Amino acid sequence: MMHAGMPLSWAEGLCCSMLLMAIWAILARLPVLSEASNRVENSSPLAIWITRLLSSQLLLLSLKLLMVGLFFLVIICGLYGTPLPQQNLATELTWNIWWAGLIVSVFFLGSGWCAICPWDTIASYLTRLNILGASDNSTRLNLAVPGVLRSVWPALLMLLLLSWLELGYGITADPYATALLAMLMLIITTTSHALFERKAFCRYFCPVGRTIGFYSQLAPVALRPVDPQVCSRCETLECYRGSEQVEPCPTGLLMKNLKENSYCTSCTNCVRSCPTANISWKLRPLSQEARQDARPRHDEAWFVIALLALALLHGLTMMPIWEQQLQQLSAWLGESGLLLWGFTILLATTLLLVASLYAAAIAVTMKLCRQRIGFKKLFIDMAFMLLPLAFGYHIAHNLTHLWRENSWSWLLHPFGLPTQALPSMSRVMPTMGSGEAGLFILQSGFMLFGFCMSLLILRHRAARLASHDSNRRGFSLLPLALFALLITILQLWLLTQPMMMRF
């Protein structure tokens, strides 16, 4: 089934606004940076109250148990329900509600999902016989994570594998395989929790946690010290070490040094263990962290590049032209059936194209810079500008799934519709004028947000690198601004194209 895309006139209007923004980004003077004056984080009494509420044992436990219940429902429906994906709770809830809505949730809640993640809840229970508090019944070996795994390369590999299963193998249309994947993730999480100290799976291996972790650098909320001075004087470090009642930080973060959301799972252990109640949710400007606080590493830069390429791939694979290219390539390879080799080659090509284009833009920028900045440093530092490009399109694309792909029949019939209901089964298909305009307004907003944030990050990062440059305009940013414009135009074009529904 095909869906019409965003009207071309909307995309043209957006392109014109973005072109003007790009011209401004190049011609305007770069911002003058000062660490203290540019950081804005507010924790009002209301935010502190909300933090206490959200970290209450009762609420957390209830939400965790609800997620565990839904997780088992997905497995049972996937294994024993109808193989029709549009009628089975396993595929509808996993891919159309959770996976599509997860990225949207980051915009409001940061990495809040991880606080109630059922894989972690069940694995923690199996390895500690306790869900929330500290436990003496641990069956963990608490081994140190080998140095070679202490990066996001494992999570990047897992993300590629997940995308391959989702877009290549078509697991989204297979309730049984969806249930098996959910169980496989649980086995890997439990094994990691049992072997390694803290929660190595969440920090190094989980593709879901790392994706929302990086995206949450753009989020307007973060857990931070209420008074940084109190943290700097603290010697007991309960947030890091835990207390008698509360587990230590699962990803080994020390609140007084915390500048990035990437590895925070929002578990609120630190809120509950801090003896001075000095940790709260704080409001901050969108993308502040990606602009000035985050200090990237090589592996993290590649993870962000992969996020951008995979977000594009989600749109590309829903287009008829992708199907035609895949068929042609697979015929040339002599492949039939699931066409997995052909898909793998196209996936690798998309990744390589995005990375090469970005590398080329960095190389030209390096030549234009008056200061001598190494290619690697520029490549890593500027990767943050790709985050909002990926995030804005990822949300805009996922809204299509959330808006159009739910039949909701699975709510009443999680295992599938009764046979007699099948002939009359119909999917609710909104048409332009009966709600579609709302979808396009939201998509346009997120696309503008992504592009605008990307330029802001680019200018802030450039200002930091060129702090001694007397020429403080952004002329040298032209290649990267063009790169951002090119990617966004491609994304907008994808949004205007008719899309094939997954099921």
Residues that bind ligand SF4 (CB under 6 A): 114, 117, 119-120, 189, 201-202, 206, 208-209, 223, 249-251, 253, 255, 264-270
- Smallest distance from ligand SF4 to CB 117, Å: 3
Buried b (16+ CB within 10 A) or exposed e, 333-355: eebeeebeebbeebbeebbeebb
Q: How far apart are CA 340 and CA 360, in angstroms?
A: 30
- Smallest distance from ligand SF4 to CB 247, Å: 8
Tokens of 339: 């066409």
Tokens of 331: 């015929």
Number of H helices, E strands in the chain: 24, 4
Quick one: which H or E segment has residue 3?
Answer: strand 2-3
Q: Which is nearer to ligand SF4, 266 or 488 (CB)?
A: 266
- Smallest distance from ligand SF4 to CB 208, Å: 4
Q: Which is nearer to ligand SF4, 98 or 176 (CB)?
A: 98
Buried b (16+ CB within 10 A) or exposed e, 296-324: beeebbbbbbbbbbbbbbbbbbbbeebee
Q: Which is nearer to ligand SF4, 33 or 254 (CB)?
A: 254
Q: Which is nearer to ligand SF4, 250 or 296 (CB)?
A: 250
Phi, psi of 150 (to 5 degrees): -80, 65
Q: How far apart are CA 245 and CA 222, in angstroms?
A: 24
Quick one: which H or E segment has residue 409?
Answer: helix 409-412
- Smallest distance from ligand SF4 to CB 327, Å: 35
Q: How far apart are CA 309 and CA 303, in angstroms?
A: 10
Return the HEC string of 271-319. HHHCCCCCEEEEECCCCHHHHHHCCCCHHHHHHHHHHHHHHHHHHHCCC
- Smallest distance from ligand SF4 to CB 101, Å: 14
Q: How far apart are CA 134 and CA 243, in angstroms?
A: 8
Q: Which is nearer to ligand SF4, 114 or 173 (CB)?
A: 114
**74 in Cβ contact with 182 (< 8 Å):** yes
**378 in Cβ contact with 361 (< 8 Å):** no
- Smallest distance from ligand SF4 to CB 206, Å: 3
- Smallest distance from ligand SF4 to CB 242, Å: 9
Q: Which is nearer to ligand SF4, 218 or 485 (CB)?
A: 218
Instruction: Select the residue whose beta carbon is closest to ligand SF4 and give its number.
Output: 209
- Smallest distance from ligand SF4 to CB 258, Å: 6
Q: Which is nearer to ligand SF4, 260 or 381 (CB)?
A: 260
Q: How far apart are CA 454 and CA 377, in angstroms?
A: 18
- Smallest distance from ligand SF4 to CB 250, Å: 5
Q: How far apart are CA 280 and CA 345, in angstroms?
A: 46
Q: Which amino acid is at 433?
A: G
- Smallest distance from ligand SF4 to CB 169, Å: 21
Bridge partner list, 222: 282
In sequence order, the 6+-apart residues with CB closer than 8 A to the CB of 267 are: 114, 115, 249, 250
Q: Which is nearer to ligand SF4, 115 or 312 (CB)?
A: 115
Q: Which is nearer to ligand SF4, 114 or 346 (CB)?
A: 114
- Smallest distance from ligand SF4 to CB 255, Å: 6
Q: Which is nearer to ligand SF4, 123 or 173 (CB)?
A: 123
Q: How far apart are CA 259 and CA 406, in angstroms?
A: 38
Please report the sign of the dihedral spanned by the C-alpha atoms of residue 236, residue 239, residue 241, residue 243.
positive
Tokens of 421: 């209901």
- Smallest distance from ligand SF4 to CB 120, Å: 4
471: burial class by Cβ within 10 Å (0-12, 13-18, 19+)? exposed
Q: Which is nearer to ligand SF4, 18 or 249 (CB)?
A: 249
Q: Which is nearer to ligand SF4, 271 or 383 (CB)?
A: 271
Bridge partner list, 500: 2
Q: Which is nearer to ligand SF4, 202 or 455 (CB)?
A: 202
- Smallest distance from ligand SF4 to CB 471, Å: 40
